[in-house]
Amino acid sequence: MLLAIKNKLTYALLLFVVLGCNLSCGIYSFTGASIPPTMETVSVDFFENNAPLVVSYLSQDFTEALKERIRNQSRLSMVRTDADASFSGRITGYTINPTAVQGNDRAGLNRLSITVSVQYTNTVNPTLNFDESFTRFKDFSTNAGPIQSQEQQLIKDINAMLTEDIFNRAFANW
């Protein structure tokens, strides 16, 4: 019995050491990111809102959400210039469209969509550079009140989805 416990402890310790080595070498991380060990810094430029419909705080909220995602899910240091990887771009779309109509020709359900154009530059491995647009949306009910009462939370939820997509595209190679 004691020998079986000792073998299990030895196996667990060995597994812990192997995982620790893999994580510290940049081979694997629990976020799914595969950031090379030579990449140490990242910069995120301010994402200006060029959408036809402008929400005053959207640019700041999105830019900070992307920075926060990178800080929380990578070991990269945030710098202003001369980074190993950099993100720039603009918000190109902000729309509210009806998705379900109620009885009296009124929308019962609306959809808020945000589109962001992103340029990613990777100086460590330039083959991973991209210039793409990302769009995410969230549906909301008109019964819950006017858009103004729901807008801030909707934007926060959509920003979380957008930053996840952008992070995965840049660092998880999907």
CA 115 from centroid of its chain's CA atoms: 13
- The mean pLDDT value of the chain amounts to 84
CA quadruple 65, 70, 76, 80: dihedral sign: negative
At 74-128, the pLDDT tens digits run 999 999 999 999 999 999 999 999 887 666 666 678 999 999 999 999 999 999 9
**Residue whose structure tokens are 């549906």:** 139
DSSP run (H or E) holding 52: none
Burial of 12 (0-12, 13-18, 19+ CB in 10 A): exposed
The tokens for 99 are 């998705």
> Is the model's pTM score more than 0.75?
yes
